[in-house]
Structures are given as C-alpha cells and as structure tokens.
Amino acid sequence: SSGINAEYGDAEFGESPAMEKIRRGGKDKFYVCAFVNFQHGVGEDKVSPPYTEETVDMRFALFKQCVDEVNKQNKRFRAGEDTHQAGINFFCDLTDEERRPYSNGLVMPDE
C-alpha cells in the first residue's frame, strides 16, 4: 500500500503554470515550500488577484520579503527587544497599494 487513500490514487494533481514557474526556477527551497503552504492555507481568505505567469514572480518576491520581516520581528521578540510576535497572513503577497484599504483605518461609505 502506498499510504494514499484509494479515492486519491488516480487523481490528477496539477499546478498552475505560474506556480510551476516558481517551483522549477526557485532557488530558495524554504520559501517555495512556505509559499505553496501559504497558498493552501489562506484559501478563502486570499485577497490578492489570481496569480498569472506575469505576476507570480512579483507575488513570490513580496511573500519572501514578508517572511523575512516576520522572522526578524520574532527574533527581536524572543530576544526581549520587542513586545509582540508577527505571523504570516493573507496580506503577505499584496503590494502596498493593495494592502492600503485594509490598514489605513475605517473608511465610511458615502451616504
């Protein structure tokens, strides 16, 4: 037995051409694995547009920058230099412009 449920044994698992590009060209195996897990984990909470071959490199770079910032913050926290921890969330692959509506306070709709 392969350890895979029979119902999944013949399933075809594919990936988008954009993700294939990252996986095949990625030198940063840690980031690639984390990026794939991020995509799976954010699921319905994902707010960035779907990845395309034209945008996946940018999204991956944004994600890597976010991971590095989270790791730096958590290192400061563990050293007692700061009071809060950080984590990966669905904002990690957004540009500043895309993130702005979520981070600049409450905006009341026009009445």
pLDDT band of residue 111 (cuts 50, 70, 90) is low
Mean pLDDT of 18-28: 64
Give every CB contact of residue 83 below 8 A, 6+ residues apart in sequence.
77
For the stretch 32-82, pLDDT in tens is 778 877 777 665 666 777 788 888 889 889 999 999 999 999 999 999 999
Q: State residue 79's pLDDT score.
A: 96
H runs (alpha helix) in the chain: 6-9, 17-25, 29-42, 56-78, 96-103
Taking only Cα atoms into account, the Rg of the chain, rounded to an integer number of angstroms, comes to 18
Number of alpha carbons in the 13 Å side-chain half-sphere of residue 86: 17
Separation of alpha carbons 16 and 84, rounded Å: 36
Q: Is the pTM of this model over 0.85?
A: no
